[in-house]
Chain A
Amino acid sequence: MATTQQPAVEPNPLLEGLRLRRTPDPCALVIFGASGDLTKRKLFPALYSLALRRLLPEHFGIVGVARTEETDDQFRDAMKAAVQEFGRDDFREETWDWIAERMRYVATDFADEEGQQRVVSALNDLDEHYGTAGNRVYYLAVPPDAISTLVHEIGEHRSAEGWTRLIVEKPFGRDLASAQELNAQLQEHFAENEVFRIDHYLGKETVQNLLALRFANGIFEPIWNRQFVDHIQITVAESIGIEGRAAFYEQAGAIRDIFQNHLLQLVALTAMEPPIDFTDDSVRNEKVKVLRAMHTPGPKHVVRGQYGPGFVEGEEVPGYRDEEGVARDSRTETFVSAKLFVDNWRWADTPFYLRAGKRLARRETTIAIEFKRAPHPPFEEAAEEELRPNVLVVHIQPDEGVSLEFAAKVPGQGMTLRTVHMDFLYGGAFRTGIPEAYERLILDCLLGDATLFTRSDEVEEQWSLVDAIVAAWKRDRPAFPNYEAGTWGPAAADELIRRDGRSWRRH
């Protein structure tokens, strides 16, 4: 019997060697919580920067949804002012006009069925006039208690044409049970690859640079293990207080605000095995293995703190309990530090010391890998304190970059040693301007790339660890406040690391 063969599809020879940028499909972005701070400070400035660089699809539209009564034009004016105030680029009227004409606003309560119909009408209007083709990205920039309703409403009204994606802001739940419940709700309406759980730290260039540092250089990975690394310190320090977010912060505290997401993600990226490629599941598979390998620290290995009054950058600042909206006897922690272990072949018995807090001495996020000391330095004249270990520091903010501390001989007679820094300053080597995390993350979502977003199992592993810590806290009453604003946290945090014969890095 004769068989017919499909003609081979000839590859396009004109594409060879072209540096093509991936362009997102036509789509409409719906922002729930459009009158909120996140939308003004981060989302619209990011959208403007993407539009300026022509990274948004040509067929694009935005629907802002919030309870605030506003017209389309009032919404446009408010967002224009936000871009001018918070954007990183010079303001160009023609770029803004391109965005503004594609903007719609719907004032509604999120649970209001009639309001949801108006959102659908606005989207249909964008499909008709701007060719957004039924593709939808829903950005849930709303308080946690509104998410469940919205997930249901969006799921019920999802477009029959095109694709649908959902960006969910942190906090993703407040414990393991609520996170599992939210994941289950999401899974009722959406597949996992349609859900983009944002942790904006993962969108930071320097966090991604950690992966480049580890996996694009041959010199680091062979020593990136328990044989050569003495311990790792990860610090997420903020000098600011709660900035009027008492209602949220009283419920969350440092452990839910920073530790559960940013800090544990940084641990995962630092400790993960090399992924086989840089696709979303390959990277997230390796991260989740690290999270599963962390064992719950005992109560002696976790310290919590709350700031009292003090001075930050010379300015007198109130204690946490004196902040507006905070209970006078609040037991919410504004600082947490912990010693964790990753129980796997690479990291067994290598401590990870973590700390995060508000109203600390300075704003700084760093990952410091402290290597074991030289086994037998042959310099009799050099005092022992001169022989400090090598430390590789990844500076995530500010002054993004990488530095390596090593010993060098002080010029002159004798063998006097001093620790010097070899610095790679991100902004110094690449003068193109570092994109904001939200630019990268919004664009990745439009492209359908979930590599820098958190998967459901990662979130649940993170909550599992946090739940165990919080459960232990319920058994005692902390003597808060226990650190002065403008310091590096409670004395117990210093003791936590000093017990092991180590100390926090000097800043």
Chain B
Amino acid sequence: MATALASIAEIEHELGAQRIDAATGEPFQRTSVMSHVAWVPEAWVEAAEDVLSGLAERHPSRTIVLFPDPDADDGLDASVQVDCFRAGEGRQVCTETIRLRLGGKRSEAPASVIEPLLLPDLPAFLRWRGLPPFGERQFEQLVAAVDRLIIDSTEWPGLPQPYERLAEIFDRVAVSDIAWARTSRWRPHLATLWPGIADVSRVKVTGTEAQAHLLAGWLRSRLQREIAMEHEPAERLAAVELDGEPVPFPPGDPPDPADLLSDELERFTRDRVYEDAVRATA
């Protein structure tokens, strides 16, 4: 159902057309609980599409996927897709995905493109793939246009320095970090070690670098003490040691990436505990 479109008016017109069931001439029921904006530089296209597929069905939304292409000629190149799902007896609801390639200077002013497309009165989430260019125009513009920024600091090079820049935006936008969400099985588990854990002075984390920094930051900020961190690289959070003692593995299976993003899309308020952990990563 994709058609190449070059302006907001054309996008809106195409959305209107695709909301009509061709067989019956009746409009589909449109259900949206949020606008979901994804900023996807070239390197992240494949990974982003994998996570997005299936998300629309779980979170009926208008998803706006932005593909910045600063080296291309100026202009918009958009496609629109309406996906319908069964909901109840003989009824279906539809969600909308707008894919926008922002060519040339258009990639510098993305907020002006998404503002007219955001659903009114519904929360807007911005999923940013890779390390955000803190302080740069397009990032700051998009952050100002949404209610919540979703990042995955696992994707960031040079940790923990970027956390300092991240902490600077906490007062402007609520932030969710998929890397933090990936520690969600371990944190309640570690909490059960209270009060014995109160005097811990060293934590060793086998997992991603982001998980190691965030878990250490969390322990430092909650326990209000200096805690040394040691990191053993691994693709997923595999082990935690406290003062040389291994912590038993928590129960349950690790959630998949789509589940993690899905959970973050249900949060609407600032996560002060995460913010404290980020500030304590340095």
Contacts and interface: CB of A to CB of B under 8 A. Distances in A.
B89 A10 contact: no
Interface in A1-36: 10, 12-20
B197 A428 contact: no
Nearest to A17: B273
Interface residues of A, number: 24
Nearest to A430: B33
Given A425-B88, A427-B87, A429-B33, A17 B59 contact: no
Interface string B204-224: 000000000000000100111
A209 B57 CA distance: 21
Contact of A399 (B88, B219, B274): B88
B187 interface: yes
A423 B126 CA distance: 27
Contacts of B219: 14
Interface in B75-103: 85, 87-89, 91, 93
A428 B60 contact: yes
B89 A17 contact: no
A69 to B, nearest CB: 38
B13 interface: no
A127 interface: no
Dominant SS among interface residues on chain A: loop
A427 B88 contact: yes
A54 interface: yes
Given A428-B93, A429-B60, A431-B60, A13 B222 contact: yes
B87 A16 contact: no
Given A427-B87, A428-B87, A18 B60 contact: no
B190 A425 contact: no
Contact of A17 (B88, B190, B271): B271
A20 B187 CA distance: 10
Given A17-B273, A428-B60, A54 B252 contact: yes
A401 to B, nearest CB: 8
A430 B194 CA distance: 37
B120 interface: no
A58 interface: yes
A398 B59 CA distance: 21
Contacts of B223: 13-14
Contact of B191 (A12, A398, A427): A12
Given A16-B222, A428-B85, A428-B91, 7 more contacts: A14-B191, A17-B272, A20-B188, A398-B89, A399-B91, A431-B85, A432-B58
Interface of B: 29, 31, 33, 57-60, 85, 87-89, 91, 93, 184, 187-188, 190-191, 194-195, 197, 219, 222-224, 251-252, 271-274
24 contacts: A10-B195, A13-B194, A14-B197, A14-B222, A14-B223, A18-B191, A18-B273, A54-B251, A54-B252, A398-B88, A398-B89, A425-B88, A425-B91, A427-B87, A427-B88, A428-B31, A428-B85, A428-B87, A428-B93, A429-B33, A430-B33, A431-B58, A431-B60, A431-B85
6 smallest beta-carbon distances between A and B, as pairs: A17-B273, A428-B93, A14-B191, A399-B88, A428-B31, A427-B87
